[in-house]
A and B are shown apart, each in its own frame.
Chain A
Amino acid sequence: MCRIGAIKSKKYIHPSLALKLMRSQQKGHDNSGFAFVMQDLGGIFENYKNLPTLSMACSDAGMKIAEDYLHSLGFVRVFQFTPEVYPDAKLDIKTMPNYVFEVFQYPKTYKNASKEEKEELLVNSRLKLRKLLEEDDEGYVYSFWEDVLTLKEIGNPKDIGTYFNLWGEDVNIRSKIITAQCRQNTNYDIVRYAAHPFFLQGYTTLTNGENTFYEKNKLAQKNLHKAYIGFESDSQCFLYTLHYVHKILKWPLKYFKHVLTPLPYEEIEKRDDKEVLTRIKTSMANLAINGPNTTIGVLPDGTMLSVEDSKKLRPTVVCKHNDMVIITSEVCGANEIMPDRNSNDDIYTNEREIVVVDNDLNIERIPQ
């Protein structure tokens, strides 16, 4: 089983906080990896908010492939950050030769391009880059997006933290949103791409659980969008469904829940909005899920959410304190880094609601 956690803060925070959040839940994961996505970046990236950041782990050859390709498109590198690493034979970590965090200026031809055109360019570039790197297994490109930094690695999270010096309070790497998971993929082979969080066009999801409708979800999603690829994990389907409902169909967020776990027909019949819900349930049946799971998501505007399966077989708790909200699998995580909150205000997401945290850290529970 996975343990997942997300922190949303009004101030810039360091990934060590996410590492501590997850380490306290270590009985629930197998120490096979650690991954995080940081959004709304601070520290040394704060001045580049409108420029795309490439997050990649690769070989030397992969580095050249990536840079050559991005240069051929007209991208110009404006900033590069290479994390200082602390190798030690005793550390349980399967490292890659290079960890790349590079900020690029858009090609000149995109000077007057719209937001949509730029988003299209970034997705296409990442997909092509992934393909190029895959040919000879030269690397992994996790995200190429404005104001986003991603790291995924195989090994013991504690050692990964040590290797990248994430335990300290480095002022260089900071952000207002961090989503993290301490585990590699269990359902399939251990592949860096398979580790949560999953990211696409500003949307992030992490899931604890099993998607028993993975096969039909996958078959339905493959044709919906060019970026719906990989499927190295059954949980990836939740990201694509969130992206499809919110970004492509442009539906309000609460309908994500109606797609994931539609109400039974008998309950729909009693609702005033039964026609809408029936249409959704009918047309999106292939995107529904049926396994036990809970998902934490982040939208491009920073809104964070938590949603559960309809059987409530996996927990999430939403905890708030002053300038910070945590959504995580187990309350011990929140106790670790937010000990002085009023735990009576903790929200245990239920099976028929979606809990939404806005940028002012207001928490709304929207019933399905």
Chain B
Amino acid sequence: MSSSSISAPFLVRSAQRGGLRSRLRALADAAVTPLTLDDVLDSFHPLRSGTDLRGRIVAVQPETADAATIVIKPGRDWFGHAPGQYLQVGVDVDGVRLWRCYSLTHGPRPDGHISITVKAIPDGVVSHHLVHRVRPGQMIHLQQAAGDFVLPMPIPQQLLMVTAGSGITPVIGMLRNLFSKAQAPATDITLLHVNQAEPDSIFKDELRALGEAGKIRLVEHFDVRDGLLDLARLEHLVPDIGTRTAYACGPSGLLDALEGWYDERGLALSTERFRAPTLTDAGEGGSVTFAGGTVVEADGATPILDAAEAAGVLMPSGCRMGICMGCVLPMKEGAVRDLRNGEITVAVPGETDPGGVKIQTCINAPAGACHLDH
């Protein structure tokens, strides 16, 4: 069955060892065809090396009423990560596999576990599932860590972190990593942490403890107490702001304002943006873009298959009534509407299966712009 890029190192390794091992492997595959040996071993040891990357949930620690840290034991092929990076996880919610990105909140740990901290956002199916429903022992699917929101080496003398809400998640990973070392770093860190109110401030005890121990200077800002953060007060909150290497993570509004502030002064700022929750503005009809670059316009009542064929695109097809699955193609991005019952299917890069969401082109019409991998 499908082999992903994850298994490539294994194949290369086994090819190098060559000879007996690869012959044994070929024999095992022949003994279980049409499955592969991996499919069989997955039933017994899903975290082993050489298979799709997965993780086993080892603990779910509540942080606030609507946030929790999920500690995960990753599969053997986990390459590791740098604090500040994020992770794409695939979770089965009501039987459907959905993918989302979350920041890693622990630096590399001695037990090899990793963690993400998730805040349940309104209407967030995956975040609610992770915060309130997952249990230790369950498996989730993983991609390798990614993202360049990481501290440079050597670590700058003076650092400023500006975080808002769950924007603290990549930064807590950085801080935990720095202070877990035997020798505390000789870095002067200021953390400006913005939250709506105290009760939903994730990691507040841990951050305050770091502050009290003199390891960081913590500036807490609560909107309900202090009013919305006014950037004119930035220099008041952080007097030496101009000399600090700055990192910021939070909602787009704040980051846009901060970037403007830094630009005006000709200073540098590294940011990590969290994608705003997807609002499906599913329209009627739209443009279908194919991998080759062809763009086909279709109205809301014409199946993608018909519209594409009419425009001369060579399409796989079958029964043309939604029953034979002969026309299924992966949608990388966008939304389509099922012409039989009006149901909307959405694909958002980073939030859906890395391979795209497979849709039947014969009974779906575009609902806004969509990209097909074909």
Partners in one complex: no
